[in-house]
């Protein structure tokens, strides 16, 4: 019923279009699905995408290739610099530096098989040091349970962000990954307020919320 009354905004009327964002940092960009959506709303903002997996990175680069205010960086982000084994999932978007839980396997049977792949891991603070980012920033994190580590590896960047859109889990889908409450406390301590969800993922088993792309705003 509610969908019938949902307002139809033009991209330039969207609240994000009036946010003054100058730079979008898309961490865990995959092939650019979120980047494509946010670019329609913020077409003049600089877009910097981070994606560790080779094939999605190539697709991402081709998707936005030739655009003057786009840059792609092939690496994962975390708390420490080095190389790490990623669990490359048969469904690329579920690939993670953490092992998946049984709940994940049971809920998403198309995303169970994995193989190991070595990827470069960098700290967010180091990865953007020479990019001459324009403030204010919008930071999007979709890193399959590695959210807390990306935050700790990019404190100065977090301090410059006006808006953070971060994938949060309400139930454990990756071993050792933070749940919503922990992410909420981390970002609240850094001056952000929870402001609703960009998207939400429901369990195919019983319809309960499993994940959301939560919006946190400063000021």
Q: What is the pTM for the complete model shown?
A: 0.93
pLDDT of residue 1: 35
Q: Got the DSSP string for 13-49?
A: GSGGGGS---EEEEES-TTTHHHHHHHHH-TTSEEEE
* Of 88, 116, 178, 105, the residue nearest 141 (C-alpha): 178
Query: Which homologous superfamily does the CATH classification assign to the domain defined by 12-218?
Result: Vaccinia Virus protein VP39 (3.40.50.150)
76 CB-near residues (< 8 Å, 6+ apart): 50, 52, 84, 86, 97, 119, 120, 121, 122, 143, 146
Omega of the bond leading into 51 within 30 degrees of 0 (cis): no
Q: What is the pLDDT along the chain (219 residues), one digit of tens a residue?
A: 344 445 566 777 789 999 999 999 999 999 999 999 999 999 999 999 999 999 999 999 999 988 889 999 999 999 999 999 999 999 888 999 999 999 999 998 988 899 999 999 999 999 999 899 999 999 999 999 999 999 999 999 999 999 999 999 999 999 999 999 999 999 999 999 999 999 999 999 899 999 999 999 997
């Amino acid at each position: 019923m509610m969908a019938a009354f949902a307002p139809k905004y033009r991209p330039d009327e969207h609240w994000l279009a009036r946010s003054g964002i100058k730079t979008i940092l898309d961490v865990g960009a995959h092939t650019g699905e979120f980047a494509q959506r946010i670019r329609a709303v913020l077409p003049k903002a600089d877009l910097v995408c981070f994606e560790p997996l080779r094939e999605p990175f190539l697709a991402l680069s081709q998707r936005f290739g030739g655009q003057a205010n786009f840059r792609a960086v092939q690496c994962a982000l975390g708390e420490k610099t080095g190389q790490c084994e990623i669990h490359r999932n048969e469904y690329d978007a579920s690939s993670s530096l953490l092992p998946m839980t049984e709940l994940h396997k049971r809920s998403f049977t198309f995303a169970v098989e994995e193989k190991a792949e070595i990827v470069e891991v960098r700290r967010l603070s180091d990865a953007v040091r020479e990019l001459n980012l324009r403030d204010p920033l919008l930071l999007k994190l979709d890193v399959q349970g590695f959210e807390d580590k990306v935050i700790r590896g990019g404190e100065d960047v977090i301090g410059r962000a006006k808006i953070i859109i971060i994938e949060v889990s309400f139930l454990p889908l990756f071993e050792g990954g933070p749940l919503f409450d922990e992410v909420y406390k981390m970002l609240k301590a850094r001056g952000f307020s929870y402001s609703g969800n960009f998207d939400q993922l429901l369990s195919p088993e019983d319809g309960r919320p499993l994940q959301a792309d939560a919006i946190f705003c400063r000021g």
